[in-house]
């Protein structure tokens, strides 16, 4: 291997995070507007029009790309908010739209045929048959895979589609197939699919009780922490529950995905982009993670797969910003399933 | 209003499944969805067995639909999917297909099948997307359970040509799919060597909060609600917004629930009485929040 074609796609939850990502070596940043049109619809996050313009100018001046996530599903009564978001994104000169809804893709191809389209992870496309459907209908040029396939399964997808494949490399781990999870909607009435929010903050309550610190989501007890134990954010699928009188993380521990050691293999099978999760995280997180992944990709590019090894310092840096200070290979590693 | 029996979401022993559908053949249900939609490791009935069950049900006058797997991961998953599409396209036996991911949509479209059902996991939330499915040959829309009655009425009103609409009306809500098997995890096993523990668990395993409140249900790679979604009390509002109701098979009393729905639709019960009568057949508290545009766990109108 003489060169690595893998692009590093980094999260930009704010303009400072965007600049930090670019400055630390991101090839692309992805961002969203300040509304429900994207799947990280949290207060204090995301971009207004002026910020998108400034971010695009900043990235383009440094020959980097800006991808705009419009990856939630509009409904009849709010449809025009999503199509207007597409129009604005085209006007601001973003390099690609990350979409999940086929209706919106049809609108984008009809109205802005020059715009490059990526299929969002929220599209839940896990097979080449699904990805090729979007390619044939809307000419999508890239698809982001949900975090559910093993390495061999990812390889098979890449081999059977002309569409570039992007995978998650680092950050929060969705245990469920993205775009197919209504757990948050069940508990709070707000869903990642339609409202762009999972376990949204306005439903969260931390309570210091004689039994310990309790975290609740819309009144539902998600976890309880002993003295000295760090109380985590009550994300539904990372809580501790009782199953047959046993209390444990029944779905998944609070942990981050970290595929650094899989990088040579991901390059070999033809992955075209690695996504770093974390638009809700700080610019400091973005800096740290981008720096490590840039270094790893550069090392792979210069030394090839044989010359590649994961430096302990990289892992130490990444573990500092991992959820629960721990990491997993997730579904890439079969026994995780 | 027609009644449909959704696909069996649990893993039951072969004879239990055969007995169950023999009983369903005698029930007042109009359509029956068959096939394994949850986990590709579940093999008590293979595709040929399901097609045979379908033929028995068709002979009993039921419309038969073959449902496709919700999460397609491997080439062998695609192989099953292709066979399901082929049987529909070739007319042998020619059962309709419920497409539960876009891969199925692509295969159905390529095969020229024109009467398939857009399944609840296709994420159809607006008229533009539904119209695309209709243009590709979908003739029925099984609405995602998280969509409210008001929202689905708006989609239908905006559509150029009406489409038969099916609403999830009874059963534990299918809320999420994962690559990970939570049942295997509970028994400290891996999915690849799960010992088929699902076989001994008729209705999934209840996951409770640490206050003992039933919250979710572990069903292999699927996570369901613990509460039973029940629209019996909402039937007057559902009528006019949908033409078909889906009842999801549960371990006990499925036939009783089907009969209760039929009776309620025929006007034998008031909405409140119908809900009250169903309580005796339910293993967990009811909920209907999704229909009302609220948290799914809520029982919005107490009866």
pLDDT in tens, A315-324: 999 999 988 7
* Closest to A180 (Cα-Cα) out of B83, B120, B41, B234: B120
Residue A326: what pLDDT?
Answer: 82
More confident residue, B61 or A196: B61
pLDDT exceeds cutoff 90 at B217 = yes
How many domains would you assign to chain B? 1
pLDDT in tens, A41-57: 888 899 999 999 999 99
Q: Which residues of A touch B132 (CB under 8 A)?
A: 102-103, 106, 137
**A181 reaches B (C-beta below 8 A):** yes
CB contact under 8 Å between B155 and A75, yes or no, is: yes
Q: Is the residue at B190 inside a domain?
A: no
Q: Is the residue at B199 inside a domain?
A: no
Q: Is the residue at B247 inside a domain?
A: yes
CA distance B100 to B74: 15
CB contact under 8 Å between A103 and B128, yes or no, is: yes
pLDDT exceeds cutoff 50 at A3 = no
* Residue contacts between A and B (CB atoms, under 8 Å): 218
Which domains are seen in chain A, by residue range?
A: 7-173+255-332 (3.20.20.60), 182-249 (no CATH)
Residue A2: what pLDDT?
Answer: 39
> What mean pLDDT comes out for the span B173-202?
96
pLDDT in tens, A97-145: 999 999 999 999 999 999 999 999 999 999 999 999 999 999 999 999 9
**A202 reaches B (C-beta below 8 A):** no
Q: Is the residue at B89 inside a domain?
A: yes
CB contact under 8 Å between A148 and B102, yes or no, is: no
Residue A197: what pLDDT?
Answer: 87
Residue A1: what pLDDT?
Answer: 40
Q: Which residues pair with B32 in a beta bridge?
A: B5, B64
Q: Which residues of B touch A178 (CB under 8 A)?
A: none
Q: Is the residue at B98 inside a domain?
A: yes
> What mean pLDDT comes out for the span A248-276?
95
Structure tokens at B30: 């109009």
Instruction: Tell me the pTM.
Output: 0.96
Residue A232: what pLDDT?
Answer: 84
A181 is in an annotated binding site: yes
More confident residue, B301 or B168: B168
- For residue B126, give the CATH number of its domain: 3.20.20.70
DSSP symbol at B49: H
Q: Is the residue at B205 inside a domain?
A: no
pLDDT exceeds cutoff 70 at A34 = yes
The answer for A 60-99 residues in CB contact with B (under 8 A) is: 73-77, 79
pLDDT in tens, B97-149: 999 999 999 999 999 999 999 999 999 999 999 999 999 999 999 999 999 99
pLDDT in tens, A139-175: 999 999 999 999 999 999 999 999 999 999 999 888 9
Domain span at residue B72?
2-173+228-292
pLDDT exceeds cutoff 60 at A303 = yes
**A149 reaches B (C-beta below 8 A):** yes
């Amino acid at each position: 291997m003489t060169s690595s074609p893998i692009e590093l796609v980094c999260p930009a939850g704010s303009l400072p995070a965007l600049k930090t990502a670019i400055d630390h070596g991101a090839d692309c940043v992805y961002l969203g507007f300040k509304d429900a049109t994207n799947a990280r619809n949290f207060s204090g996050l995301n971009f207004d029009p002026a910020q998108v313009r400034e971010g695009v100018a900043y990235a383009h001046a440094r020959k980097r790309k800006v991808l705009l996530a419009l990856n939630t599903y509009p409904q009849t009564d709010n449809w025009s908010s999503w199509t207007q978001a597409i129009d604005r994104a085209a006007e601001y000169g973003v390099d690609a739209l990350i979409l999940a809804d086929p209706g919106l893709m049809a609108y984008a191809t009809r109205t802005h045929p020059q715009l490059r389209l990526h299929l969002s992870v929220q599209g839940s496309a896990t097979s080449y048959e699904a990805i090729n459907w979007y390619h044939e209908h809307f000419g999508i040029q890239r698809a982001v895979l949900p975090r559910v396939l093993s390495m061999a399964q990812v390889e098979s997808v890449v081999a059977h589609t002309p569409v570039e494949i992007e995978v998650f490399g680092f950050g929060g781990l969705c245990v469920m197939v993205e775009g197919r999870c209504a757990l948050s909607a069940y508990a709070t009435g707000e869903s990642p699919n339609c409202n762009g929010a999972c376990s949204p903050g306005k439903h969260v309550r931390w309570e210091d009780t004689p039994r310990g610190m309790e975290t609740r989501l819309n009144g539902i007890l998600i976890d309880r922490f002993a003295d000295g134990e760090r109380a985590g954010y009550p994300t539904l699928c990372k809580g501790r529950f009782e199953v047959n009188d046993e209390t444990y993380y029944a779905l998944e521990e609070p942990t981050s995905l970290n595929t650094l050691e899989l990088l040579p293999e991901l390059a070999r099978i033809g992955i075209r982009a690695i996504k770093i999760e974390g638009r809700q995280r700080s610019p400091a997180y973005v800096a740290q993670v981008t720096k490590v992944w840039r270094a790893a990709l550069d090392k792979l590019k210069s030394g090839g797969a044989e010359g590649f090894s994961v430096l302990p310092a990289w892992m130490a840096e990444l573990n500092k910003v991992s959820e629960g200070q721990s990491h997993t290979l997730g579904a890439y590693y079969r026994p995780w399933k | 209003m027609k009644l449909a029996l959704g696909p069996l979401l649990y893993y039951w022993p072969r004879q239990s499944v055969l007995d169950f559908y023999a009983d369903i053949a005698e029930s007042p249900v109009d359509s029956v969805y068959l096939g394994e939609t949850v986990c590709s490791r579940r093999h008590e009935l293979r595709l040929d067995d399901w097609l045979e069950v379908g033929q028995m049900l068709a002979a009993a006058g039921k419309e038969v639909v073959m449902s496709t797997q919700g999460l397609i991961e491997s080439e062998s998953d695609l192989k099953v999917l292709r066979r399901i599409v082929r049987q529909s396209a070739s007319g042998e036996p020619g059962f309709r297909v419920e497409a539960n991911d876009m891969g199925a949509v692509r295969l159905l479209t390529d095969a020229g099948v024109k009467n398939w059902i857009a399944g609840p996991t296709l994420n159809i939330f607006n008229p533009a997307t539904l119209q695309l499915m209709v243009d590709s040959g979908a003739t029925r829309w099984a609405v995602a359970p998280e969509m409210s009655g008001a929202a689905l009425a708006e989609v239908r009103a905006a559509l150029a040509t009406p489409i038969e609409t099916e609403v999830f009306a009874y059963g534990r809500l299918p809320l999420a799919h994962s690559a990970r098997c939570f049942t295997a995890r509970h028994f400290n096993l891996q999915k690849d060597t799960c010992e088929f523990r699902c076989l001994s668990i008729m209705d999934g395993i209840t996951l409770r909060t640490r206050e003992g409140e039933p919250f979710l249900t572990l069903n292999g790679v699927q996570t369901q609600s613990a509460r039973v979604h029940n629209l019996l009390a909402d039937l007057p509002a559902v009528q006019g917004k949908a033409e078909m109701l889906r009842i999801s098979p549960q371990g006990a009393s499925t036939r009783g629930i089907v009969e209760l729905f039929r009776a309620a639709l025929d006007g034998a019960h008031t909405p409140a009485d119908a809900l009250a009568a169903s309580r005796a057949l339910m293993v967990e508290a009811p909920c209907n929040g999704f229909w009302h545009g609220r948290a799914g766990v809520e029982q919005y109108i107490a009866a």
